[in-house]
């Protein structure tokens, strides 16, 4: 699916990164739907994994700086996301098909953004409004 405004958490830099992640997911969905050769899928997945690692590191660094009280739990949820991506890579490489797996991961990621990311965003907006950027 495509990113839309209902997914915004109100921190501009983070919303832009989430948009990028949805672009990666869309590319993977399209690739699965077109039954692209496996090396293409592998490449797209490695790009998603790399970008996700960058994004999660940014969030974790920010939460550390602002001393977000639930930062340890948030980092744990991120570790799970990376595990899920590794699992997705394994499954898709094995089967070459797996649109349902991609949408399963997507749902999961959306839930993280809407629940966990939104929760820290409320804290950051309240305590560190200068970090939020225009919105």
Of residues 7, 44, 59, 63, which one binds Fe ion by CB under 5 A? 59
Write the CB contacts of 121 (distance below 8 Å, at least 6 apart in sequence).
Answer: 9, 10, 11, 14
| x-marked contacts with Fe ion along 10-39 as a string, rule CB under 5 A | ------------------------------
Distance in Å, CB of 121 to Fe ion, minimum: 9
Distance in Å, CB of 28 to Fe ion, minimum: 18
Distance in Å, CB of 93 to Fe ion, minimum: 25
In this structure, are residues 22 and 15 in contact, taking their beta carbons and an 8 Å threshold? Answer: no
Residue number with CB closer to Fe ion (61 or 86): 61
**38: three-class secondary structure by DSSP:** helix
Instruction: Please report whether residue 117 would count as binding Fe ion according to CB under 5 A.
Output: yes
The C-alpha atoms of residue 86 and residue 91 are separated, in whole angstroms, by 9
Candidates 36-44, 46-54, 58-66, 89-97 — which segment interacts with Fe ion by CB under 5 A?
Answer: 58-66
Give CA separation, 9 vs 18, 54, 110, 127, in Å: 10, 18, 12, 15
In this structure, are residues 97 and 35 in contact, taking their beta carbons and an 8 Å threshold? Answer: yes
Distance in Å, CB of 101 to Fe ion, minimum: 20
Chain positions contacting Fe ion, by CB under 5 A: 59, 117
């Amino acid at each position: 699916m495509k990113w839309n405004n209902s997914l915004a958490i109100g921190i501009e830099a983070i919303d832009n990164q989430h948009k990028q992640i949805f672009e990666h997911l869309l590319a993977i969905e399209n690739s699965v739907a077109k039954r692209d050769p496996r090396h293409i899928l592998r490449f797209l997945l490695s790009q998603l994994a790399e970008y996700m690692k960058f994004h999660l590191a940014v969030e974790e660094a920010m939460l550390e700086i602002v001393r977000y009280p639930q930062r340890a739990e948030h980092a744990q949820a991120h570790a799970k996301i990376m595990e899920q991506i590794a699992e997705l890579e394994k499954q898709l490489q094995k089967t070459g098909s797996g649109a349902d797996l991609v949408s399963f991961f997507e749902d999961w990621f959306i839930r993280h953004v809407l629940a966990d990311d939104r929760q820290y965003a409320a804290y950051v907006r309240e305590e560190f409004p200068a970090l939020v950027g225009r919105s």
